[in-house]
A and B are shown apart, each in its own frame.
Chain A
């Protein structure tokens, strides 16, 4: 089983403004389960999408079974025997299991004019039997639970006679029993000599299933080690990298004891499970966790952007009813979405308009005529206070840098007299210099008595900025860290603390 199945060397890939992969190498043997690890944005998915023909590499070599290959599209990857199970399931919900498995290669009869549904179902049943799956080929995908859908993706990839199977976070939505089922299938495939690239954030799984581990960080290759020879702590340190320069954490002491926002027993399906927390005036509370842990869902539910099933929200000790964003805004809650361009800004309009957009009625005179003097002065004031770099307040925000756009949104909410500001990934897509500006601003807002809730996937900034950190995993809060306990290692441990009870 030591025959090399695939070797990638010197892989480069950049997207506009970002070097996603820099001189990355990767190797996998036949019959090997090779875990690919790294933080969000380390470049794992990008590397695998290159392998699957979804992205085209800028430079580098790929050898498959000893032969140099170029993979220009998904079809080419399929032809080589490379199957990928995407992180976001790529199934057609309205079609049946069998129809999904054989999409693009439907068996036909009557001289290729009519679909042979019988053969389609029989062939799929054969594949199901091979993997000992209890599934009906004729069931519609939308009627299946996510775990079963995942199995269909696997069957689909295998039906192409795959020699290499890439699984991008296959267990993200599975419970323990389902994960066992998946592992059983993986071991079965291993015996057949299929190479498996296994991407996961769940450290406990790596030891169980992987033969070797390759770690990536910031688009670069770090190291490849044997899973048996290495402690989990070591892997985490490799993923997180050198300890970032000791950054000054804000004073642990907070000026006020007044709890400004409290959430009790918030629930919504699988996304939010019994989440409770408090934030005090002048505090920066961090929400850490992996992608899909439920942080954004909690924020959106508190803000009224999504409904929740049960739970109570208190603002300054008073129970409030928040059913839609305008309720939240009325109670002084502002939400700064992770997707600024889509949800935060009127991108084609100028700075002035954006700053006063949520407060326009305050500047309205008779017949709804906007008092431009007032709006201009307000906008000017905020540009100075937040040091927004813009040639003038009549500049369209789309020409501002990411950091300055973020400041414009902050100005908008401050203008609205928001006391509680929820930031969702406030520094995403912002360059390093501007990030520090945002950090300073957040710290200052807290010092001025605003309540700040910050969701961030960038551990260094959580460690640096927050007074207190709540870590989420699979919709639950798995732990709370404060003061010197806020370290990247501690956060990572909590973020991967999976539910152990069989559900």
Chain B
């Protein structure tokens, strides 16, 4: 047996954090509120679960301040499944993030679904061993979050609505801006960085590589297999489904169908087959019917 002589191991590195995010690609991350739902999600083929007390649709309905979930509830889910578990902290609430890291969650979502704790600053994610995912509506916002240490980006969409329109808008916006940066001559990058309000080195990375330096997922309003496949076609690396599964008539069947749709998004015959007889989709709210105060996507700085 060949034994290694080199023993210098390093944990919590940027490569280990973004590398973990790469493993979720082509997969579906599902919101769950109980260990039972987490097991259903795992059995349906979720690549990870997001543990929270209320799905976005209920947060929207209930109003009030939405905070990090109870540690007991998060640990209950961590212990129930073998797949990775994510949990949400409020924007800027680095103590909630420290608590979640100490509980052993695998990923933290610094999320606009919860009520922001800071109106100006996000968590300094470089300070943590656990990786973070953050929402963004455009390239500048995505690169600011990555600059703060985010290992994964997702569209914000409009969570808890079941209306995919905002996720589509944000995906098109980011992918369009990436193409625009890619087409620039090198000497225009600094001015572009100024206009995007984004770190220059990251703008340069996008220019050289034609993509974000971390995976970019769809989130916020995905409710059907067709929605999930649409987001994949728009260049997203995978999909978060929040209220869409457990607020629907047949969560098991819908969860399995969305998992298959993300893998086989280019195959309309498979999409047609998995879309049959899924029962009731979640009752939706049209994003255009929301007042500005009801929109979660505007949270984030």
* Binding partners A and B: no
Listed in ascending order, the chain B residues whose CB lies under 8 Å from chain A are none
